[in-house]
Amino acid sequence: MLNLRSIPAARAAAADGDRPVKRQSWIGPSVALVAASALLAACHRPADKARAPAAAEPTVERAGPVRWNAAAGDFELGGKPLKTVKLWTFDGSTEGFTAMGSRITPAPGQGIAVTMADPTIRSPRGLNVPGGQYPLVLVRLTRTAPAAAWDGALYYSTVNHPETINFLGKPLFGADPHVGETTTLVYDMSRQAAGAPDWTQSTIDQIRLDVEDKPGGAFLIHQIAIAESPDPAALGPVAAAAPAAAPKTPAPKS
């Protein structure tokens, strides 16, 4: 234990015993004067403004032929609204979309937050979409975390075939966004990457989006739609349709 009496200053203080401490005569008036001055100054000083909350991390939206009109609540092509047969805006719900192993939850406000463990995201079954009338699939999303490899393949099933690698689409616009970038993936299934013209000759039962090729990324998916394409020229020239391929191999991760 520390012996305070071994310290000269403490020993001298102890020698004084318990005598009451005498207040210095200058303390009271001076303290009062300082307090009064501070009060008067405060009366003439404008109140501090409330500190604004920290701004959210800014995002950049990539320009493209299709844009989301938040005021109207629909997608536009060339400034004109698109007719949609299916439009998912995920208002507090996943609206039946599911993921294989990935975490998928409603995001605050609108959208679904997806953390990739497996890249597969599926719509509900029973869409019953006439592919010839509705060849556009639109996916508006923001990347919130990086990943090892982008994919972006869109698979689908019909009454005639399940998901297979022989029938898929790739986005014509909006692929592989950077972290913090919002983009609209535009799939024109009238020129699908494999199996054309199967989509336009089929009734679509379910769609499946493989955003990444490997786990680790994260996205906020804002809206997904299946829509008409009133002006195919707005998306560029349509390549000659290849003969439809017969399904042979199931799509990976099905």
* Alpha carbon distances (Å) from 243 to 4, 174, 197, 207, 246: 98, 27, 7, 21, 9
Which CATH number characterizes residue 202's domain?
Answer: 2.60.120.260
The yes-or-no verdict on residue 41 having pLDDT over 60 is no
153 Cβ contact partners less than 8 Å away, ≥ 6 residues apart:
168, 169, 170, 193, 209, 210
The pTM of this model reads: 0.71
241 band by pLDDT with thresholds 50, 70 and 90: very low
253 band by pLDDT with thresholds 50, 70 and 90: low
Section 158-175 average pLDDT? 96
| Model pLDDT, residue 252 | 57
Assess if residue 252 is contained within a domain: no
The yes-or-no verdict on residue 240 having pLDDT over 60 is no
Mean pLDDT of the chain: 78
pLDDT tens digit string along 50-59? 333 333 445 7
Assess if residue 241 is contained within a domain: no
Give Cα 39 to chain centroid, integer Å.
50
Assess if residue 247 is contained within a domain: no
Section 122-142 average pLDDT? 97
Tokens 């299934």, residue located: 189
120 band by pLDDT with thresholds 50, 70 and 90: confident
Assess if residue 105 is contained within a domain: yes
Distance CA 80, CA 66 (A): 9
pLDDT tens digit string along 172-202? 999 999 999 999 999 999 999 999 999 999 9
20 or 188, which is more confident: 188
Structure-token pair, residue 136: 């556009």
The yes-or-no verdict on residue 27 having pLDDT over 50 is no
Section 136-144 average pLDDT? 96
Section 213-226 average pLDDT? 91
The yes-or-no verdict on residue 239 having pLDDT over 50 is no
Please say whether the beta carbons of 70 and 222 come within 8 A.
no
101 band by pLDDT with thresholds 50, 70 and 90: confident
Section 114-139 average pLDDT? 91
The neighbouring-strand residues paired with 121 are 99, 209
* Alpha carbon distances (Å) from 190 to 29, 170, 171, 227, 234: 89, 11, 12, 12, 14
| Model pLDDT, residue 254 | 54
Section 72-100 average pLDDT? 94
Assess if residue 209 is contained within a domain: yes
In total, how many domains does the chain have? 1
Maximum alpha-carbon separation in the chain: 108
| Model pLDDT, residue 234 | 81
Q: Going by DSSP bridges, is the β-strand pair 218-227/112-115 parallel, antiparallel, or unpaired?
A: antiparallel
Assess if residue 4 is contained within a domain: no
Assess if residue 18 is contained within a domain: no
| 3-class secondary-structure state, position 95 | coil
The yes-or-no verdict on residue 152 having pLDDT over 90 is yes
Assess if residue 246 is contained within a domain: no
What's the domain range around 78? 69-227
